[in-house]
Chains A and B, each alone.
Chain A
Amino acid sequence: MQIHIRYMAALRDRLGDGETAHDLPADITDSEALIAHLTRSDAEAAALAAPEIRLIRNDRIVTRPSALADGDRLAFCPPFTGG
């Protein structure tokens, strides 16, 4: 399964700009397994595991854990600070 990941705001400063494609092992089927996978390969990514990190999947805000499907576009978001 391939998914496209991007990081928003403060997470982008830490983890990189732009959308990157990731080929995932078959046992990764939801957001939490994905976070564990990203965290294993990149110590910086540990920030993603924090419960306050929000997820936008294919242009919809979803709750964690969220299922994943091939071709998904995922955006990891720090807590929102608008208004």
Chain B
Amino acid sequence: MPLGIQVSVEPIAAAERLSALTGQSPHDGAVASFVGQVRADGDLVALELEHYPGVTEAALGALREQAISRWSLSQAIIHHRVGRMEIGETIVLVAASAPHRRAALEAVSFLIDRLKTEAPFWKCVHTASGRHWVEARDSDTAASQYWRDQIAQEDA
């Protein structure tokens, strides 16, 4: 698995992962993070995440490398869970450390926005009466595209 990337069926110990990231370097003034968790939504009883092993980790690794280089991060981690999870459980943890807050906050925003549309995960909602696949949201596509445009502008 690429450095700083984890995809697991086991629950994500978000607090422990974050604690391992803080206080690591005297040059880091900021650690920012995002924790996504299963929301009680309508008749949802559980969420199941499918992914494409190997390709997922590579996609997350590439996004992480991009973020590290663009925002000069000291550290960055992405831990995404797959399989079945219940309401309140953590789906994904993204965290980044950097000398200043703006870099850390933007990098985390970039990573979560981009991974939603660029890493091969699929959400399936289980209800009491069956299951259905979650459709991609236009707002997620737009958020991802925003970063794509930002980077294209800067590279131009």
A and B physically associate: yes
A9 in the interface (beta carbon within 8 A): yes
Residues of B within 8 A of A8 (CB): 50, 52, 120, 122
- Hey, which bits of chain B sit against chain A, CB under 8 A? 36, 49-52, 54-55, 58-59, 80, 91-92, 112, 115-124, 133-136, 140-141
Structural contact, B52 and A75, CB atoms closer than 8 A: yes
A49 in the interface (beta carbon within 8 A): no
Which residues of chain A in 1-59 are interfacial with respect to chain B, using CB atoms and an 8 Å cutoff? 8-10, 13, 52, 54, 56, 59
Distance of A54 Cα from B140 Cα, bound (Å)? 16
> A81 and B59 in contact (CB under 8 A), knowing A10-B133, A13-B133?
no
Interface size on A, residues (CB 8 A): 18
Structural contact, B52 and A81, CB atoms closer than 8 A: no
CB-based A-B contact count at 8 angstroms: 73
> What's the dominant secondary structure at chain B's contact region?
mixed
Structural contact, B80 and A82, CB atoms closer than 8 A: yes
Min distance, Cβ B146 to any Cβ of chain A, angstroms: 15
Structural contact, A9 and B112, CB atoms closer than 8 A: no
Select from chain B the residue with minimum beta-carbon distance to A9: B122
Structural contact, A9 and B133, CB atoms closer than 8 A: yes
The interface centre, meaning the residue of A8, A54, A79 with most chain B CB atoms within 10 A of its CB, is: A79
Structural contact, A60 and B134, CB atoms closer than 8 A: no
> A81 and B135 in contact (CB under 8 A), knowing A56-B55, A61-B55?
yes
Residues of A within 8 A of B136 (CB): 52, 78-81
> A83 and B55 in contact (CB under 8 A), knowing A10-B122, A78-B133?
no
A77 in the interface (beta carbon within 8 A): yes
Distance of A82 Cα from B115 Cα, bound (Å)? 7
Min distance, Cβ A15 to any Cβ of chain B, angstroms: 13
Distance of A74 Cα from B133 Cα, bound (Å)? 21
> A82 and B119 in contact (CB under 8 A), knowing A9-B124, A75-B52?
yes
Q: Mark A62-83, 1 if CB is under 8 A from B, else 0.
A: 0000000000000101111111
